[in-house]
Chains A and B, each alone.
Chain A
Amino acid sequence: MNIQLNGRSIDLPDNVTTVLELLDSYDIKKKISVVEHNKEIIRRFDYEKAKLADGDKIEIVHFVGGG
């Protein structure tokens, strides 16, 4: 499956099928993030239910604390 992640074309491995699995594959599952799936913001408790499909557009922003 191919998706647009933060504007880049990404080929996902077969075991990544939800937003939660996507976050996990980038090792940012535990970080506090805002996720947009095809222009709709997904709430944290819905990450597991949010199924990915070919051609989906995903934006992920995670909070950083330094400065």
Chain B
Amino acid sequence: MAERYSRQERFAPIGKEGQALLAEKHVLIVGAGALGSANAEMLARAGIGRITIIDRDYIEWSNLARQQLYTEEDAASSRAKAKAAEARLKAINSTINVEGIAEEFDPENAELLLKDVDILIDGTDNFNTRFIINDAACKYKIPWIYGGCVKSDGISLSILPGQTPCLQCLIDQLPQDIETCETAGIIGPAVQVTAAYQTAECLKFLTGHSMSTHLVSFDVWGRQYSSIDVVKLKDPHCASCSDDAQFPYLKKEKGIRTAVLCGRNTVQVRPGRKENVNLERLAQRIEPFAGEARVNEVLLRFHMEEKRFVVFKDGRTLIHGVEDVQEAKKLYHRYVEA
């Protein structure tokens, strides 16, 4: 077993001392899609002592071309990504602690999730969640590493709250009409290079080295690369990372909340407060009307009115086949909440 990390220890900037540090660290990965999977696998193999990975989604066939932790069996059974990732990471490295959480990262659970965390890795696919991550990381002074990829392009930036510019310093408004992996496509190599930059920065930070202040971007197909030192863009009046920060994205909303998952013809509906839904009982209730009601460890899926419903234990529901928020709310009230 002592052999396990020998090549990584031979790498001078890490050494045996660095390896010992890695074993004591806790990394939180938000999102277990393509970037989350790639980062998680590298970090588990590298011997990070504790990895927590949170994801709100379940595995579909369209994920398998690039989300490296998952198998055909996972897609066939609509397994929650967080749970499948946990099992796979434990199989890769049984000597570390791994926990998968099948929930959404949101202002309600952010504080608890960031407790005892050394660094956060961005494995999300949307800017809504990234701005929540950014505010939470700034508030609790946890470094985080932004990563994004689409088509053959990727980008990454390390953020050290209070010292380097945060996402809000660089982007003062939520980007609109942005290309997503569903609308513009994505290839595996773009994921791997982006995750490689993220994991390398993470290993640097955890072994006591300084992270880069450069925003790096590339096109792995067109062979373009660019790197800009953004340290001067730190905004002294930033709403998220300055001394008088307001943390605008941590404000908790009340009542039912909805989110349109862009490019997926899907609306997510969340109850005002998290509650433990008895999925078996709900399945029995809708079984007479619904097509194929199936329950697994964390979710129930069924068909109704030509829509596909996926209900998680905490009441959060994905409704596929609908883009209108009002219609989604109606369907939610009718079949899930009743």
Q: Is the beta-carbon distance between A65 and B178 smaller than 8 angstroms?
A: yes
Q: Is the beta-carbon distance between B228 and A67 smaller than 8 angstroms?
A: no
Q: Is the beta-carbon distance between A67 and B179 smaller than 8 angstroms?
A: no
Q: Is the beta-carbon distance between B226 and A66 smaller than 8 angstroms?
A: no
Q: Is the beta-carbon distance between B179 and A59 smaller than 8 angstroms?
A: no
Distance, CA A37 to CA B193, complexed state (A): 26
Q: Is the beta-carbon distance between A64 and B226 smaller than 8 angstroms?
A: no
Distance, CA A63 to CA B154, complexed state (A): 9
How many residues of A are counted as interface, with CB atoms below 8 angstroms from the partner's CB atoms?
18
> Which secondary structure dominates chain B's binding surface?
mixed
In the complex, A12 has a CB within 8 A of chain B: no
B-contacting residues, A21-62, CB 8 Å: 30-32, 34, 36, 41, 59-62
CB distance from B193 to the nearest CB of A (A): 13
Q: Is the beta-carbon distance between B215 and A34 smaller than 8 angstroms?
A: yes
Distance, CA A8 to CA B225, complexed state (A): 10
> B155: which A residues are within 8 A, CB to CB?
61-64
**A5-25 interface bits toward B, Cβ cutoff 8 Å, 1 = contact, 0 = none:** 011100000000000000000
In the complex, B101 has a CB within 8 A of chain A: no
> B228: which A residues are within 8 A, CB to CB?
34, 36, 41, 59, 61
CB distance from A51 to the nearest CB of B (A): 20
Q: Is the beta-carbon distance between B224 and A61 smaller than 8 angstroms?
A: no
In the complex, B200 has a CB within 8 A of chain A: no
Given A65-B125, A65-B175, A67-B31, answer yes or no on A6-B225 (Cβ-Cβ < 8 Å). Answer: yes
**B125-136 interface bits toward A, Cβ cutoff 8 Å, 1 = contact, 0 = none:** 111001000000
Residues of B that sit less than 8 Å from A by CB: 31, 33-36, 122-127, 130, 147-150, 153-155, 170-171, 175, 177-181, 184, 186, 191, 194, 215-217, 224-228, 230, 232-233
Residues of A that sit less than 8 Å from B by CB: 6-8, 30-32, 34, 36, 41, 59-67
**Which 5 A/B pairs are nearest by Cβ-Cβ distance?**
A66-B150, A67-B35, A66-B181, A64-B148, A61-B217
